[in-house]
Structures are given as structure tokens and as C-alpha cells.
Amino acid sequence: MGPVPELDARAAACARRLREADAVLLASHIDADGLTSAAIASTGLARAGITHEVCFKKQLDDAEIADLAAREFGTVLFTDFGSGQLDAIAAHEDAGDFEPVIADHHQPAEATTESHLNPLLEGIDGASELSGAGATYVLARALAAADDGESESDNRDLAALAVVGAVGDMQAVDGKLVGANRAIVEEGAEAGVLKEGTDLALYGKQTRPLPKLLEYASEVRIPGITNDEQGAVSFLQDLPVELQASGDWRRWVDLSDEEKRTVASALLQRAITRGVPANKAERLVGTTYTLTREQPGTELRDASEFSTLLNATARYERADVGLAVCLGDREAAFDRARRLLANHRRNLSEGLETVKRAGVEREEYVQWFDAGEEIRETIVGIVAGMALGVDGVDPDRPILAFARKNDEETKVSSRGTGRLVGQGLDLSAVMGEASRAVGGDGGGHDIAAGATIPAGEEESFVAEADALVAEQLEG
Ligand code: C5P
Ligand code: C5P
Ligand code: ZN
């Protein structure tokens, strides 16, 4: 039995199809989840002795699927996308262009195919219980189980990458992976590649100098520390903890367990005394996922930092770099990824500044901003999600963001909250229907979705989306 029993039959069917293939074209999505999916699939195929090539796409549409068909591989494996375009894929299957195998977690289109592995088909939530990398991991485990002795591995070591994919897709609920994701965490722990722990829940524990870790932390705002360099430094200086080693600031990973406890409890106390509500301050401590085989003090050691590193490659047309890192390159590709990460961080922070400066427009149910060419279309969704936490933006209203794709097309990204989804919000349906109403297309998850629409249709799109959200939340 695999890690997610509900998916066993589908995983076995997909594995069988792949084993029968002469050569496989593996196509995946350009984000952290898509890259880790590709790395898991590629490793699983290689270990099973299946010849394959890997390629990445920003978005699957009819033209992209036709391109894949033209490459004349008998079998195409789609990871972290494919379900949303199942109708187009099934048409190619019927035409005899290729045999599709899909491991995905997006809302499926109206069509069926035999080798389709998607948590939503078995009542498992694709936005919080299993990611694309998780679905691909289930497939890789089935490939190993179907092994007739060619390879030694059971592919459990790939659980670490699956967790990086899930964390990269923001699947953690209140900081913790749940549902089918948990089974993967457990397999990773058994295989000795992963450790779940409780720790300070701030981004940058592996790599940031201590004052920067506190100053830049936006998860919970602490007056006098967040965005306050001097404040962060003097807070630390008041603690009985050595702050420097050989002239450099120490990082969180450099502290002993006792020192960590000292800093964490002082931080919590400071938050409370400065008026942060207790239930918010508690979020300073949370669940972390450590990749135990990676070097401490590198981005790769922490699932969250690893996933950001990957987004920094693939969303800038360097998926090859991120894939190489996932596959084990710790030299040239890793160096390159780190340089890309510095650029990505700068872009996110400038993007957020753009939103703060220009503000958002409020409709009755949704709010939106048009970034034009100020924010890359490949990261505008990440910025939209981050914007839900800033001043002047309603944290509890769906947000839509436009970015220019090219002269003819505009990219739309949308983000919601768990509470809104609980009330009926389904952004996947909103993006799909509103975009098709103006001549575009889209889809995704209930809590996060996207679309491409013809340039100039932004206003009509907002009106369509607002009406659809009204129906979902009031209906
Ligand atoms: O295409 P894919 O599924 O990999 O992309 C998921 C996107 O949805 C990510 O950008 C992720 O940040 C976003 N998301 C989110 N909150 C969730 C689930 C997903 O913002 N709870
Ligand atoms: O691009 P963005 O990060 O906003 O995408 C959010 C989610 O919507 C992702 O899961 C992505 O795969 C999906 N999406 C989609 N169709 C589009 C654009 C985005 O299914 N045209
Ligand atoms: Zn995904």
C-alpha cells in the first residue's frame, strides 16, 4: 500500500502505463511545486529504467499541449498541471497523439482519462491536503512498488522534495501540513530525510543574521522590532545570548537549543507587552520541516526557504537551475540559484511596495490592483497573497491582481483566505467563469487561482468576478 491508500488504484494504473512506455516526455509547472514534482518524477522514472526528457511550461493551454504532442513521445507525463486541461489532453489521446499520464492537484476539467492521479477525484482537498509534488510522490512510490528488481530504492527518500512542494504551495494550515501530506511527512521521517519540529516560525532561520531574521519577519508584526533594524538589534542585545561569532552575526541555526528558547520566549513576551493579541503572538512558534540530509545553514535545510529558492529560479525562466538543485547539484546550479534568490527577494519587496503605494480598488465583494508592467506576471500571484497582510488592504476580502503578459494578454492572479473558502468562496470557479466570459481561460484552487484574459477586458472581468463572488458568498 502506498502513503495515500485512496489513491493506490490510480497510482498503480499510472505506474503501469509508464512502465509500458518506450519513452516519456515529462512536462511540469514552473513553480516550487512543479519543480519538485518534476524532480520526483524524473528520479522515479530513472530508477525504474524509463527513458524520459523533462520540460517546463508556464501554463498549459491548447497551443502548449499541441507543442508537446508534436514532440512525438508515445507517452506524456503531466505533473502539477494537466487536470485543468483534461478536455484538451483527452482530445489528443483520442486522436492517438500520445498516451497521457497525469499527477496533479488542480480542479479537473470535464473529461476523463485512464491514468489520472488527482486527490480531488477521491475527496481529498487539492489545496491543503496534497500538492502536485505529493501526487507525484504517490506515483513514484507506486513505480517502485511495481519494480521487478531493477532498482533498490522504494523512493521514500523523495518525500523531502514532496514536502518542499507542499510548503511552497502554501498548503500548511496554521503552519502545519495536514491530511495526505502528513503521511508523506511520516514516510520522510522513517526514511531519515525529514524531521518535523516545533520552532520559531519565521522565514530565514537557516540563512539570515539574527537581527535581520527579526527585522524582516512579517508573519507576526511586533512593534519596535518588525521593520526596525535598530529595535531588533537592541532587543537582542538585552538578552543573555552571544550575538556574534568571529565578528559576524550568528544565525538562528547557530544557536544552542537553550539560546533558542531564551530568544523565542523573550520575543513572545515582547510581542504580548507591545499589544500583539495572544492568539497572534502564538503564531511566532510553529511547525517546521527540516531536510536532515542537507547542510545546516543553507536554504536547502528548511522546506520553506528551499521552496522560495526554487520559485526564484523557475519563475525567471531558469527552471533548469532549480531542477538541477532538486536533483542534487550543490555547486554551479546551487550558486546560480542563490543569486537568483537575491533578485527574487528584491522583486517581491518592490512589488509589495508598488501595491502599498498605489493601493487597491474596492468593489462590493472583491478588491483588486493592476500592476501593469511593474510586477512580473509570474510572481504577481505571490505578491497578491502577501498584499493581504499589508495596511490599506482588507485582509478578509478576495484579492485580484492584473499584470501585463504581452500586447494582447493580461495575467490575472487571485487569492482568498481559509475563512472565505469556508463561506463558499471558490476562486477556481470564479477565475474560470469570469475569464471565459471575456474570452480568456483560467482555473486553479478554491483559495488561489489564475487566468489569462485579452488585454482591455480587465474592467469587465472585475465586474464578472465580483458578481460570481457575490453569488458564492451570499448564495
Ligand atoms: O499551480 P500551483 O497549484 O502549484 O500553485 C499554487 C499557488 O496557490 C501557489 O502560488 C500558492 O502560493 C497558492 N496557494 C495559496 N494558499 C493556499 C494554497 C495555495 O496562496 N492555501
Ligand atoms: O499564477 P498564480 O500563482 O496566480 O496561480 C494560482 C493557481 O491558479 C495555480 O495553481 C495555477 O496553476 C492556477 N492557474 C490556472 N490557470 C491559469 C492561471 C493559474 O489553473 N490560467
Ligand atoms: Zn501545485
Taking only the tens place, the pLDDT of each residue in 125-150 is 999 999 999 999 999 999 998 766 55
Across the beta sheet with 52-57, the strand order is 52-57, 24-29, 75-79, 99-103, 116-117
Ligand 1 closest atom vs CA 34: 4
Task: Report the pLDDT averaged over residues 338-357.
Answer: 95
Task: Report the pLDDT averaged over residues 111-130.
Answer: 97
Pick the CATH number of 5-190 from 3.30.460.20, 2.40.50.140, 3.60.120.10, 3.90.1640.30: 3.90.1640.30
Residue 151 has pLDDT above 70, yes or no: no
Specify the pLDDT at position 97.
Answer: 97
Rg (CA), the chain: 22
Domain locations along the chain: 5-190, 199-348, 359-474
Residue 289 has pLDDT above 80, yes or no: yes
Residue 231 has pLDDT above 70, yes or no: yes
Residue 280 has pLDDT above 90, yes or no: no
Q: Which of 169, 379, 412, 415 to mutate to test the pocket of ligand 1 (most atoms within 8 A of CB)?
A: 169
Task: Report the pLDDT averaged over residues 191-220.
Answer: 92
Task: Report the pLDDT averaged over residues 317-342.
Answer: 98
Q: How far is the CA of 382 from the centre of ligand 3 (A)?
A: 13
Torsional sign, CA 94, 96, 102, 107: negative
Nearest CA to ligand 2 atom 11: 444
Nearest CA to ligand 1 atom 11: 169
pLDDT band at residue 86, thresholds of 50, 70 and 90?
A: very high
- On whether the CB atoms of residues 341 and 299 are closer than 8 A, the answer is yes
Percent of the chain past pLDDT 90, that is, above it, reads 91
**CATH number for the domain running over 359-474:** 3.10.310.40
Q: Which protein residues are within 6 Å of ligand 1, measured from CB?
A: 29, 31, 33-34, 80, 127-128, 132, 169-171, 381-382, 385, 415, 445, 447-448
Residue 278 has pLDDT above 80, yes or no: yes
Short-list 52, 82, 40, 79, CA closest to 64? 82
Rounded Cα–Cα distance for residues 329 and 250 (Å): 27
Specify the pLDDT at position 149.
Answer: 59
Q: Which of 57, 445, 446, 453 to mutate to test the pocket of ligand 2 (most atoms within 8 A of CB)?
A: 445
Nearest CA to ligand 2 atom 10: 444
Q: Decide the pairing of beta strands 194-200 and 367-370.
A: unpaired
**Please, what's the b/e burial string for 269-287 (b: 16 or more CB within 10 A of its CB; e: otherwise)?**
ebbeeeebeeeebbebbbe
Short-list 132, 32, 130, 129, CA closest to 78? 132
Non-local (6+) Cβ contacts of 145 within 8 A are: 2, 12, 15, 154
Q: How far is the CA of 10 from the centre of ligand 1 (A)?
A: 24
Specify the pLDDT at position 150.
Answer: 58
449, containing H or E segment: strand 448-454
